[in-house]
Amino acid sequence: MDGGEVSEILDSELLGEGLIPTLLHAHDMLLVQNPLTVPYRATTYGQLVESTYFWKLHDLRGNEAKTSDGIHLLPAGFDTILGVKPHQYPMHCDAITKEIKLLSDPFKIFEFDFWKRPNSHGKAELQIKATEDGCVHAVVSWWILQLDREGTVFYSTAPQWINSPINTGDQDWCDHWKQCVWFLPGKGVFISKGQEVLLEAIHTDTSISYNLKTLVPRSDVTA
Q: Where are the alpha helices (DSSP H) in the chain?
A: 19-25, 52-58, 60-64
- Tell me whether residue 13 is one of the annotated catalytic residues: no
Query: 93-121 burial string, b = 16+ CB within 10 Å, else e?
Result: beeeeeebbbbbebbebbebebbeebeee
| Choice among 5, 8, 125, 200 that is catalytic | 8
Q: What backbone torsions phi and psi does residue 198 show, to the nearest 5 degrees?
A: -105, 120
- Tell me whether residue 8 is one of the annotated catalytic residues: yes
| Choice among 17, 64, 132, 196 that is catalytic | 17
Residues labelled as active-site residues: 8, 17
